[in-house]
């Protein structure tokens, strides 16, 4: 339905081989030359085919995504870019535009060819389609041509004087026009790209920065806040040549400060102004003027020009930009892909003035847009989203927070979460207030200042409310106590601080007691965001509240395991449910950050299992004659007796450790790490398939007295990665087909299957709030109760099985609490002895990359 011809190619993508053996892409463990990159791009372009097709790419900051992007450009396939970490955004684009090919986080591992040809009419100039300023909640896309991309890359490379010796780190997402412009402009000049998704608060990022001699650093305003926290001013960065800033207005005092710092340390600060509709950049402030004119956006980029059109009733006019990088126009439906140029200039919507020296200054916005953490938020779209949910609302806010008034008795907490997800904003940046009636002026028009006042009133009310234990300092203390670290900062998250399944339960219960109901993704939220007083505006607590299914399963399983061993009642099968829970939690807590950061976290988590287990088993070895040195070394399953003895009592711990060591070793391989990132659902699916070999004893290798569990751990991992109904259905089918026959015990298999289905389909189970803490304590101490009960229950079983069960659980709680105190104290001692401030860990906020 479309021609194979298109008008131009962007040379920065098509002429890669021109730079020969110069380094093009540098990662933590490898370097790819321009010649090699060109070969991979050519191979992938061949896979896309010669007939032009519409391609959608869920892009990450990885090599596969870069290759797919460049291949689509060189082969002339119009490409829709969406963030790889927002599945809902891709689903929305696929539903709205029906692409012919869908690529998820990089190409080869997830090449979904939906049809051999195309059903679309594609204009010859169309090269790229992207959401405005990183917005992911709307199918409205910017249509960019090859000329747009090429001209803007040339302009940027020109005023930044990018040369072949330069190297840029991917501190911003490839799917964001600012991040993409860094890639385009550097490839144009044969410079190197240091591909990474590490956050700037991760020490590993700066190690990579220095190791590869990075010369340019791209930042949005929020990035500068993080730089303050990592002590950027004191970092030794001899290769740094310049810092660029865009993505929103940086406060003039910050511009002055960083311009002065750059002058002192030998690098330049380029303040820039742009929009997706202009492919990226429209203006830049020459570094020598940053200190004296910090409030301006500077001058137009080479090839571009500004004018200011009057706005009736206002002193300042609207800034209008013209240049070869101005988009072809917008697309809102597939038919728009056939359109050519529909705009000749870009009306920015910003109110501006021109200084006598020729510098432009933006003084306000004409239309109703906010820019929060570098993302442009259309307030009209916010109200349309809520209207689609049957909620009448008004929205306003600042460049720090979206404020919404919702009419009626809607669940404001749920609405806030929905808006954050659809708009791609941090949850803490969305504030929803319930009102009886929407505020309006006497004329009947919406009273937006009254909506904004709701935020101030909420904070004021909270500050007057006497409460203890809910301030930032208290939350940081709680995190430090539970995660055995000496200091916690506002930008830290549970995952970045090394939290795992053992510490997750106790901390979540403690936080819920302090803050009320927690968001489902609280373990990925910054401590500072959880501590915000606005959380007090949430509805009053109800009798029942949801508790995560994985937590409930852990508590129930340890009760059933001990009761079965004691003989209070018999209900086998729950130990293998816990194996699936282990895989589920491994995927949630152990897979964040770069490979080295992951490995460190996985080793720490493994140590939290091995150390208390070995310590207790050694104690049991000394006070009884039941166990051997093989038990202490956790090797009984491999070298212990082949017949059933007491030495087999710790099989669960041993096999769990074996599986975790296998996963740690597997993910330590760089190519495996890349495969897992590129295919987050397919990878555990393959791991489950590998585990099925043991499940069905295909190699005829088995460990006596234990059942193979890798497939269960893989299934748990797969459950954690299931984002859609189809994916959960796939997991269900695998479970239903593989569980029967596993034990040759129908009741035991029903227990295992029931646990798997609960974990797959029911994220939380409503429980009385009074039970949350005891259930959480039992779940947290489940490993310790499993260890200790072997010594406790034989002493009491002859008198009372129920007492034996209760005492075994209590002993586990005591051992858990004792271990927590010892490890916490050790962590604080290490922190006090460590030189200098604690190294800041990785945070997973996409906008800071």
Half-sphere exposure of 345 (CA within 13 A, CB side): 13
Helix axes 651-667 and 782-796, enclosed angle (nearest 10): 170
Superfamily for domain range 375-464? ANL, C-terminal domain (3.30.300.30)
DSSP 446: B
What's the burial of 372, exposed, middle or buried (CB within 10 Å: 0-12/13-18/19+)?
Answer: buried
DSSP 218: E
Calpha distance 12→18 (Å, rounded): 10
- Which residues have C-beta within 8 Å of that of residue 41, sequence separation ≥ 6? 13, 16, 67, 70, 71, 74
Question: What are the φ/ψ torsions at residue 279 (nearest 5 degrees)?
Answer: 75, -30
Q: How many helices, marked H, and strands, marked E, lie in the chain?
A: 29, 27
Calpha distance 246→396 (Å, rounded): 23
pLDDT score of 533: 43
Can you list the positions of beta strands (E) in 98-140? 101-104, 111-113, 126-131
CATH 3.30.300.30 segments of the chain: 375-464
pLDDT score of 251: 85
pLDDT score of 499: 67
CATH 3.40.50.12780 segments of the chain: 11-365
Calpha distance 789→781 (Å, rounded): 12
Options 1.10.1200.10, 3.30.465.10, 2.60.120.380, 3.40.50.2000; CATH for 472-546+827-848 is: 1.10.1200.10
pLDDT score of 335: 96
Calpha distance 655→652 (Å, rounded): 5
CATH 1.10.1200.10 segments of the chain: 472-546+827-848
Calpha distance 734→689 (Å, rounded): 10
Q: Which letter, b or e, does each residue of 10-42 get, where b requires 16 or more Cβ atoms within 10 Å of its Cβ?
A: bbbbbbbeebeeebbbbbbeeebbbebbbebbb
Can you list the positions of beta strands (E) in 373-531? 375-378, 393-397, 402-407, 430-435
Calpha distance 734→712 (Å, rounded): 11
pLDDT score of 700: 57
Closest CA to 695 of 606, 687, 574: 687
Over the Cα atoms of the chain, what is R_g?
A: 29
Calpha distance 287→274 (Å, rounded): 17
Low-confidence ranges of the chain (pLDDT < 50): 1-7, 106-107, 134-137, 442-443, 459-471, 533-541, 831, 834-849
Calpha distance 486→480 (Å, rounded): 6
Calpha distance 358→293 (Å, rounded): 11
Calpha distance 728→722 (Å, rounded): 6
What's the burial of 105, exposed, middle or buried (CB within 10 Å: 0-12/13-18/19+)?
Answer: buried
| CA–centroid distance for 21 within its chain | 34
Calpha distance 289→44 (Å, rounded): 45
**In the structure encoding, which two tokens stand for residue 209, read together?**
């920065």
Question: Containing H/E element for 540?
Answer: none
**In the structure encoding, which two tokens stand for residue 202, read together?**
């991760």
End-to-end CA distance of the chain: 39
Calpha distance 169→492 (Å, rounded): 22
pLDDT score of 542: 55
DSSP string, 67-89: HHHHHHHHHT--EEEEETT-HHH
pLDDT score of 828: 54
Calpha distance 198→614 (Å, rounded): 35
Calpha distance 180→174 (Å, rounded): 5
DSSP string, 301-361: PTT-EEEEE--TT-SSEEEEEESTTS-SEEESSGGGGG-----SSEEEEEEEEE-TTS-EE
Closest CA to 715 of 684, 736, 737: 684
pLDDT score of 503: 65
Integer CA distances (angstroms), 36 to 15, 16, 43, in order: 12, 9, 11
Question: What are the φ/ψ torsions at residue 350 (nearest 5 degrees)?
Answer: -95, 140
pLDDT score of 107: 43
CATH of the domain spanning 11-365: 3.40.50.12780
Calpha distance 662→664 (Å, rounded): 5
Q: Which letter, b or e, does each residue of 313-336 get, where b requires 16 or more Cβ atoms within 10 Å of its Cβ?
A: eeebbbbbbbbbbbbbbbbeebeb
Closest CA to 12 of 77, 76, 70: 70
Question: Containing H/E element for 719?
Answer: helix 710-721
Q: By the 8 A CB rule, do 587 and 684 touch?
A: yes
What's the pTM? Answer: 0.52
């Amino acid at each position: 339905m479309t021609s194979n011809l298109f008008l131009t190619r962007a040379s920065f993508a098509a002429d890669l081989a021109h730079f020969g053996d110069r380094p093009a892409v540098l990662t933590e463990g490898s370097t790819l030359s321009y010649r090699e990159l060109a070969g991979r791009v050519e191979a992938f372009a061949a896979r896309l085919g010669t007939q032009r097709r519409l391609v959608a790419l869920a892009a990450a900051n990885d090599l596969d995504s870069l290759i797919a992007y460049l291949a689509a450009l060189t082969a002339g396939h119009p490409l829709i870019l969406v963030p790889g970490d927002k599945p809902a955004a891709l689903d929305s684009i696929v539903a709205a535009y029906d692409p012919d090919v869908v690529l998820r986080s990089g190409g080869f591992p997830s090449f979904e060819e939906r049809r051999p040809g195309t059903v679309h009419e594609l204009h010859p100039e169309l090269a790229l389609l992207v959401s405005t300023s990183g917005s992911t909640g709307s199918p409205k896309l910017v249509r960019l041509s090859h000329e747009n991309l090429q001209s803007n890359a040339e302009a940027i490379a020109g005023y930044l004087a990018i040369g072949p010796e330069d190297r840029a780190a991917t501190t911003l997402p490839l799917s964001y026009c600012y991040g993409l412009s860094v890639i385009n402009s550097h490839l144009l000049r044969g410079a190197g790209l240091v591909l990474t998704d590490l956050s700037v608060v991760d020490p590993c990022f700066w190690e990579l920065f220095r190791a590869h001699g990075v010369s340019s650093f791209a930042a949005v305003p929020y990035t500068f806040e993080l730089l303050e926290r990592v002590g950027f001013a004191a970092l030794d960065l001899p290769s740094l040549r310049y810092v660029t800033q865009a993505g929103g207005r940086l406060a003039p005092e910050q511009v002055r400060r960083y311009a002065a710092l750059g002058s002192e340390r030998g690098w330049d600060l380029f303040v820039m102004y742009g929009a997706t509709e202009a492919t990226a950049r429209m203006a830049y402030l020459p570094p020598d003027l940053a200190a004296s004119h910090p409030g301006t956006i500077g001058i137009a980029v080479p090839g571009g020009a500004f004018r200011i059109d009057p706005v009736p009733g206002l002193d300042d006019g609207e800034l209008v930009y013209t240049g070869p990088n101005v988009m072809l126009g917008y697309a809102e439906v597939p038919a728009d892909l056939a359109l050519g140029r529909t705009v000749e200039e870009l009306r920015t919507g910003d109110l501006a003035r021109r200084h006598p020296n020729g510098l432009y200054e933006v003084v306000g916005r004409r239309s109703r847009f906010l820019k929060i953490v570098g993302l442009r938020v259309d307030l009209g779209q916010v109200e349309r989203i809520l209207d689609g949910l049957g909620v009448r609302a008004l929205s306003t806010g600042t460049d720090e927070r979206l404020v919404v008034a919702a009419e009626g008795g809607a669940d404001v907490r749920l609405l806030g979460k929905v808006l954050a997800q659809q708009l791609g904003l941090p949850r803490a940046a969305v504030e929803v207030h319930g009102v009886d009636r929407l505020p309006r002026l006497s004329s009947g028009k919406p009273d937006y200042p009254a909506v904004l006042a709701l935020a101030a009133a909420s904070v004021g009310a909270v500050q007057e409310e006497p409460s203890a234990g809910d301030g930032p300092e208290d939350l940081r203390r709680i995190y430090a106590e539970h995660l055995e670290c000496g200091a916690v900062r506002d930008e830290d998250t549970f995952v970045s601080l090394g939290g795992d399944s053992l510490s997750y339960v106790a901390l979540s219960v403690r936080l819920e007691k302090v803050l009320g109901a927690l968001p489902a993704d609280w373990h990925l939220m910054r401590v500072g965001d959880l501590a915000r007083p606005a959380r007090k505006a949430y509805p009053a607590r109800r009798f029942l509240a949801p508790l995560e299914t994985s937590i409930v399963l852990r508590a129930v399983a340890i009760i059933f395991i001990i009761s079965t061993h004691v003989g209070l009642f018999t209900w086998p099968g729950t130990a293998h449910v816990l194996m699936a829970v282990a895989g589920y939690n491994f995927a949630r807590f152990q897979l964040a950050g770069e490979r080295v950061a992951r490995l460190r976290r996985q080793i720490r988590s493994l140590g939290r299992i091995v150390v208390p287990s070995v310590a207790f088993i050694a104690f049991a070895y000394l006070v009884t004659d039941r166990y051997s040195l093989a038990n202490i070394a956790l090797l009984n399953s491999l070298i212990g007796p082949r017949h059933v003895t007491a030495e087999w009592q710790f099989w669960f711990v041993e096999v769990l450790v074996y599986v975790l060591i296998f996963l740690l070793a597997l993910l330590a391989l760089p190519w495996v790490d890349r495969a897992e990132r590129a295919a987050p659902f397919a990878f555990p699916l393959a791991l489950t398939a590998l585990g099925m070999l043991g499940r069905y004893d295909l190699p005829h290798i088995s460990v006596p007295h234990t059942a193979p569990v890798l497939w269960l751990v893989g299934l748990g991992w797969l459950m954690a990665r299931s984002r859609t109904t189809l994916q959960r259905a796939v997991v269900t089918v695998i479970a239903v087909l593989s569980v029967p026959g596993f034990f040759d015990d129908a009741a035991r298999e029903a227990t295992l299957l029931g646990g798997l289905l609960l974990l797959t389909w029911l994220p939380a189970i409503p429980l009385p709030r009074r039970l949350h803490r005891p259930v959480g304590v039992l779940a947290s101490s489940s490993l310790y109760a499993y260890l200790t009960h072997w010594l406790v229950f034989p002493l009491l079983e002859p008198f009372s099985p129920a007492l034996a069960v209760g005492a075994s659980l209590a002993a586990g709680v005591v051992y858990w609490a004792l271990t927590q105190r010892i490890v916490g104290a050790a962590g604080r001692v290490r922190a006090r002895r460590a030189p200098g401030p604690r190294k800041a860990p990785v945070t997973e906020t996409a906008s800071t990359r």
